[in-house]
Structure 1
Amino acid sequence: MKIYKYLDYITELIYRKLMRFRLNNKKFSIISNDCWGGSVYLDLGIPYTSPTVNLFIYSSCYIKFIKDLEKYISLDLVFVDKSKYDVSNEHRKKKNKYYPIGMLDDIEIHFLHSKDNIDAQMKWNMRKERIDFNNLFFKFSDSHMIDSKDLLEFEKLPFKNKVIFVSKKYDGLNKYVLLNFFKKQGEVSDPFKYVWIYRLHFDFVKWINKG
């Protein structure tokens, strides 16, 4: 068992060194609907230059958020006890995990990995100040109550740098990264637990370097 853990450690070390060596564009911000952006920053060994790490945003809120990013980023977080999404309230109750939920006007943000409101607010405020609005990269996926209309709308948004991860093909969607591993569950999943699924299907360094 120890030898496998050692091999995993060496593989991770080599992979991350290679990615960091290849990276030319070192000043950028990833606006993600879940933790995927955080995994990229960790692989590259650079500070989080986006507040959208260690959290998730339901698809309808995410689309609103990125369509008027500067407006929403300028707002102060207001924390609430319950989500406007019933599925979230049920899940939190079932897991007995009442993580912070923040609102930016009508946008709801789920701070899944923050211990309390103070922690979530402090990290959000610190990281939002680091955003490079001149070099933005947007990531979306068919998770968190996805509506196929949101995927199609995302594809049409006039952003230079964007990527969509999907578990299956969607009618009308032309540019995406298909992760067949998640086909049975009908949506892509945890970008940390399944980090190699994402890595093997998408060269994020090439994307960041060239858009």
Structure 2
Amino acid sequence: MNIVQRIEWRLYKERKKRKLKNLTPTIIASNCNGEFIYYDMNLKFRSPTINLSFEMNDYVKMLENLEWYMKQAILPYEDERFEYPTGMLGDIEIRFNHYETLEEGIEKWEERKKRIDWNNLFIMGIDGDDCTYESLKRFDALPFKNKVIFTHKQYPEIKSAYYIPGFEDQDGIGVLLYFKKQFLVRRYLDDFDYVSFLNGK
């Protein structure tokens, strides 16, 4: 970004912050999308799902019994597919993408888990990370009031689906934190009005 773009981007985020009324949300996300909303809005991390990710079918399984899973200990588990640490939460694999060690990831998970506000939950998923259509339907059936799953094509039958253009030629949605090629500096994630979402609208 050049200087003008950096200034425009900063002002854009400042305008969004001024509109945010809910300053203590717990965003349970399947990847870094939730984390960057916390960063954008300069909010305290009130969710354990920071700097990590899940395979989407595992993630949906966790959401279907979230309180139970939040009471389970994370155990060591080496997944040779990844260079970063991984662990098991019951039968759910957690990928600690942005941690040097499993111990560090677990420490932060436990610390932030204590901050969950069960009355102020916001659930976010994607139709990537090997998400099946069955998991899309299961996500849609979850009993959470505030939930959204970002999709690479339109699913009118999935009420919680939010279609973000630009990934139609892929098997699922891509990285929403990448910037789009356009005049205004915006990420794919910014297609979604997450301020209104967090404000309960």
- Normalised to the residue count of structure 1, the TM-score between the two structures is 0.87
What fraction of aligned residue pairs are identical, expressed as a percent? 32
Q: Please, which of 24, 27, 34 is the counterpart of residue 24 of structure 2?
A: 27
Q: Please, which of 147, 153, 169 is the counterpart of residue 138 of structure 2?
A: 153
Within 2, Cα distance between the matches of 1:142 and 1:62? Answer: 11
Q: Residues 123 and 8 of structure 1: is their aligned pair in 2 closer, same or farther, counting only changes over 3 Å?
A: farther
**Does residue 119 in structure 1 map to residue 119 in structure 2?**
no
Within 1, Cα distance between the matches of 2:21 and 2:59? Answer: 28
On the 8 A contact 2:76/2:87 being kept in 1, the answer is yes
| 1:171 to partner: Cα distance | 7.3
The alignment of Structure 1 onto Structure 2 pairs a total of residues equal to: 195
User: What secondary structure does 2:93 align onto?
Assistant: strand
Supply the AA of the counterpart residue of 2:85: P
Supply the AA of the counterpart residue of 1:164: I
**Does residue 205 in structure 1 map to residue 195 in structure 2?**
yes
On the 8 A contact 1:166/1:179 being kept in 2, the answer is yes
Supply the AA of the counterpart residue of 1:209: N
- Structure 1 unaligned regions, length at least 5: 84-88, 93-97
- Structure 2 unaligned regions, length at least 5: 180-185
The residue that corresponds to 2:54 in the other structure is 57
User: What secondary structure does 2:175 align onto?
Assistant: coil
What RMSD, in angstroms, separates the aligned Cα atoms of the two structures? 1.6
User: What secondary structure does 2:67 align onto?
Assistant: helix
**Does residue 169 in structure 1 map to residue 166 in structure 2?**
no
Supply the AA of the counterpart residue of 2:75: V
Within 1, Cα distance between the matches of 2:73 and 2:176? Answer: 28
| 1:53 to partner: Cα distance | 1.7
| 1:122 to partner: Cα distance | 1.5
Supply the AA of the counterpart residue of 2:72: L
Within 1, Cα distance between the matches of 2:161 and 2:11? Answer: 28
| 1:25 to partner: Cα distance | 0.9
User: What secondary structure does 2:166 align onto?
Assistant: helix
Deviations 1:66-117 (A, max 9, x none): 111111111111121126xxxxx2xx3xxxxx11111111011111111111
Deviations 1:110-142 (A, max 9, x none): 111111112211211111111111110011110
